[in-house]
Amino acid sequence: MEFHASCGEGLVGLLETEVLKSNLKIQSKNRGGIFFSTKSPSSLRHFLESTQISSKVGLVLCNWNVNDYDDLYNEATQFPWEDIINQRLSFRLESKTKDNLPDSRFAMYRLKDAILDRFRDLEIPFPDINKDNADLGLYLRSYMDHAVVELYLSKDSLTKKGYRTKAGSATLRENLASAMIEFSDWKNDTPLIDPFCGQGTILIQAALKWKHSKAINKKILEESYVFQQLFLNSEDKEKMESNTSKPPLLIGLDESEESLELARNDAKKAGVEDLIHWELGEFQRLEDITKQYKLPKDIAFAIITDPPFGNRLGSKEDAKNLYSDFGKYLKDMQAEINFTIITGDTSLLGFLKLKKEKEMSLKNSGLSSKIVNYLVHPRKPNGSQTTTH
């Protein structure tokens, strides 16, 4: 069987690493995801339960050659939908088509008509269509003369971990926070600080990664009818167990008490409230915090952050000053810092005056953005520093 794991634009490289780690065979890839195959249920299950980058994973049901909407309809009426959908199950349709099927909405309606007409011709009771809370999700995509229909393996997006109580302004999505963590190469034995933590998504994802790294999506998948049917006879009855190793030191700092309150609530709902320390204040408190938590002066630690930007901060001049002040502060800390940042305005990165180690371009809520990693070293005795220009 062939499957398709979708992800945000720019995240395919990280997704490819996850796919290969699960011993799945890559068939092809594009900007929106990876097609893979497997004969191993355990490998598929491992990927579904552990992926932090993919938002949806679908089983490819059919791949048709179509020249127009009538071809799509005719092919779809020949497919045995009754083997997948029945009157006890509701379903929803989504679509993203192009080339021979340029109108995604019309293509979706033609597919819906074909499915229902097949049930009508077979004199089988219709299944319900539910846009908001369907048991099954079908996704139609097309390119050139190919039309592919996928059956989602999870009821909801895998990026939605279910802990978000209320979305704040410009809240970072869960899979982007996970992408930043993966890109930074953060390890659990390294203290992690977010000095602009906002609603705490990065730290919550880091805590979940430590706590349930092998089954971070298990709770979401257990609510999926398709997942349950796929692994109905699976002998893997292993429960989601917590990590028994020493927990990482995770610290969130923000000047907004309202944001910290949202962060605390979300962390509690995610079951990681005991793993994260929340501190009120501006980033200039970083050095005091390292002393407060008794970090040795020579210890290396990680900073992964999504600084205030646009409406969260104010004018472009304010943003320039923030980046400039923050870059200078990091260099003056005289510490080994693995620093990873995401921004929707790449022109601001120059004001950090740091030499980047690596970068990754991506889309964040439709905005062209970058995740950039820096290694900040203590100044040398002559006052020079390897990260400065």
pLDDT digits (tens, 9 = 90+) for 261-319: 999 999 999 999 999 999 999 999 999 999 999 887 777 899 999 998 755 556 789 89
Instruction: Report the interhelical angle of 12-21 vs 41-50 (nearest 10°).
Output: 140
Rg (CA), the chain: 24
Residue 389: its pLDDT value, please?
A: 43
Pull the structure tokens for residue 68.
């127009």
Residue 90, pLDDT score:
93
**CB count, 10 Å around CB of 182?**
21
Query: Helix (H, G, I), strand (E, B), or coil: what is residue 24?
Result: coil
3-state SS assignment for residue 144: coil
pTM of the full structure: 0.88
Which residue is associated with the tokens 């995401």?
342
**Which segments of 22-160 are extended strands (E)?**
25-30, 33-37, 56-65, 90-96, 128-129, 136-143, 146-152
CA distance 136 to 154: 8
> What is the rounded distance in angstroms from the CA atom of residue 320 to the CA atom of residue 315?
9
Are 354 and 374 contacting, i.e. CB atoms less than 8 angstroms apart? yes
Regarding beta strands 146-152 and 192-194, do their DSSP bridges make them parallel or antiparallel, or are they unpaired? unpaired
> Would residue 92 be called left, alpha or beta, if left means φ above 0 and alpha means ψ between -120 and 50 degrees?
beta
Q: How far apart are CA 125 and CA 88, in angstroms?
A: 10
Q: Which positions of the chain have pLDDT values less than 70?
A: 167-170, 232-244, 310-314, 381-389
For residues 251 and 302, give the distance between their C-alpha atoms in angstroms, rounded to a whole number.
10
Task: Please provide residue 101's backbone torsions phi and psi, each rounded to the nearest 5 degrees.
Answer: -125, 75
- Partners of 111 in beta bridges: none
Sketch out the chain's domains with CATH numbers. 2-152 (3.30.2130.30), 174-213+222-376 (3.40.50.150)
Helix (H) or strand (E) holding 259: helix 257-270
Instruction: From 150, 142, 143, 162, select the one nearest 219 (Cα to Cα).
Output: 162
